[in-house]
Amino acid sequence: MEMASVTLRGCALCTATLLNFAFVFISGADFIRFVSFRAIYHNITGETTLCQDSIPWSEALRDRLVLKSLVVDMALLALFIVQHSLLAWPPVKQACQSILGSLNRTAYCFTTALALQILIRYWQPVTSAPCLWSVRQAPWSVWFPLLCFSVHFICWAIICTILMIFDYPELLGIKQVYYQCLGMGEPLSYKTSQVQRFLSHFRHPVCLELGVVLWLLPALSLDRLLLALTMSVYLALAHSLDKQDLAFLCDHFSSKVHVLTPTPSLASNHKEK
């Protein structure tokens, strides 16, 4: 009876974690479409409906619809930042850990994905104000959006690769549940002190690539400026590297390259065969 109860609990934990993984994956895809490709799509044909250059800034900034949209967007960004920071605050994190156990990281990822979904669904574009810049003159009206698309695609590929290198299952809470079901404890305890120190204050080693994605666009509307500026400031303040972290990253990257690169002896043997 007790064994059946443990098995049932393990199955419930695994089901919750896998469902959360699917929700986070879908939310990540929605965020990529929202922050990157949807913004470029407006310009891919050389036309843009994101702004009204005929309206002067003095009039646009007094428009109630513009101000209302900016207030709503700022509230959505504040919701995401508060959720993302509050649950990572050590006292709250410890309290959640004591209550949720191995599901703590899963709950954190779920609420983050939920906050992103709310931000994406209720975001208010500002179309009644001029753009800060807009590439409209031929031939750049076509080529520059294509260039932005290519750069964004490369940046997102790099971000996904970095997440895979830095233990994606542990980041999403899958490994925590798996280890508990096997009675192995917390997976972070198996990592070196350097890795634990690094992950304690820098969970997102993708700041540069995300910064490029936020700012490199054919047209920068007022609401996009608010999104890019707020997220850039948050990333700069909340996530920072020091010398020890940089040294760890260099060593970690070198070890990964060494594993993926065949040794000269193996390469020579392969050629002889």
DSSP per-residue codes, 76-145: HHHHHHHHHHHTTSHHHHHHHHHHHGGGHHHHHHHHHHHHHHHHHHH-----SS--SEE--STTHHHHHH
Angle, helix 104-122 to helix 174-181, in steps of 10 degrees: 160
Confidence (pLDDT) at 156? 92
| 4 pLDDT above the threshold of 50 | yes
Contact 210, 152 (CB under 8 A): no
CB atoms within 10 A of CB 65: 13
Residue 133 pairs in a beta bridge with: 220
Confidence (pLDDT) at 267? 47
Confidence (pLDDT) at 5? 61
More reliable by pLDDT, 172 or 76: 76
Confidence (pLDDT) at 270? 47
| 202 pLDDT above the threshold of 60 | no
Confidence (pLDDT) at 194? 60
What is the tens place of the pLDDT at every residue in 10-67? 788 888 888 999 999 999 999 999 998 877 876 555 455 677 878 888 888 888 999 9
Name the residue type at position 232.
S
Alpha carbons 209 and 167: distance in angstroms, whole number = 19
More reliable by pLDDT, 181 or 72: 72
| 255 pLDDT above the threshold of 90 | no
Alpha carbons 256 and 259: distance in angstroms, whole number = 5
More reliable by pLDDT, 101 or 71: 71
Alpha carbons 104 and 88: distance in angstroms, whole number = 11
Would you list the domain boundaries of the chain?
50-260
Confidence (pLDDT) at 15? 87
More reliable by pLDDT, 91 or 208: 91
Confidence (pLDDT) at 43? 57
The four Cα atoms 218, 27, 118, 237 give a dihedral, to 10 degrees, of -70
Confidence (pLDDT) at 32? 92
What secondary structure letter does DSSP report for 55? S
Mean of the per-residue pLDDT values of the chain: 79
CB atoms within 10 A of CB 101: 13
Confidence (pLDDT) at 200? 56
What is the tens place of the pLDDT at every residue in 152-200? 999 999 888 877 777 777 778 888 887 777 777 676 666 666 665 656 5
Alpha carbons 103 and 109: distance in angstroms, whole number = 10
| E strands present in the chain | 133-134, 219-220
Confidence (pLDDT) at 46? 46
**Highest mean pLDDT range out of 12-21, 85-94, 177-186, 220-229?**
220-229
Confidence (pLDDT) at 242? 46
